[in-house]
Amino acid sequence: EVHLLESGGGLVQPGGSLRLSCAASGFTFSSYAMTWVRQAPGQGLQWVSTVSVGGGSTYYAVSVRGRFTISRDDSKHTLSLQMNSLRAEDTAVYYCVKGDSNYYYDFWGQGTLVTVSS
């Protein structure tokens, strides 16, 4: 059974940093692209970032490019998101998501809440 468990969320001040992690199990982690999707309170879904199989390619939404860094550790079956220069508008639940070969998001974690506030 596929399982994705996010951690690392919390309250951070504007301008601060936070690192999210996602522990994956139940599938061959190294064979799939992995993605972060976020959802601001009461709002819709927003794609944030994707890392390719092997980690050689990374993709970012314009709103986070240059501030967020996605990475993966295939030996530890872990996905990470380093978030710097955080803004109030980054407040959201962040979901770790597994994609298939066509980037359809077939499994989602339960999410971790990031709150950016002074």
Partner 1 sequence: DIVLTQSPATLSLSPGERATLSCRASQSVDNYLAWYQQKPGQAPRLLIYGASNRATGIPARFSGSGSGTDFTLTISSLEPEDLAVYYCQRSGGWPKTFGRGTRLEIK
Q: What is the DSSP letter of 31?
A: G
Q: How far apart are CA 18 and CA 97, in angstroms?
A: 19
Instruction: Please say which residue, 82 or 108, places its beta carbon nearer to partner 1.
Output: 108
45 or 53: CB nearest partner 1: 45
Kindly give, in sequence order, each residue whose CB lies less than 8 Å from that of residue 113, ignoring residues fewer than 6 positions away. Answer: 9, 10, 92, 93, 94
* Residue 75, Cβ density class (10 Å: 0-12 exposed, 13-18 middle, ≥19 buried): exposed
Q: Which residue of 22, 51, 90, 109 would you call a contact of partner 1, by CB under 8 A?
A: 109
Interacting stretch for partner 1, rule CB under 8 A, among 22-30, 55-63, 72-80, 82-90? 55-63
Instruction: Tell me how far, at minimum, the Cβ of 18 lies from partner 1, in Å.
Output: 20
Residues in contact with partner 1 by the rule CB under 8 A:
35, 37, 44-47, 50, 59, 61-62, 95, 100, 102-106, 108-111
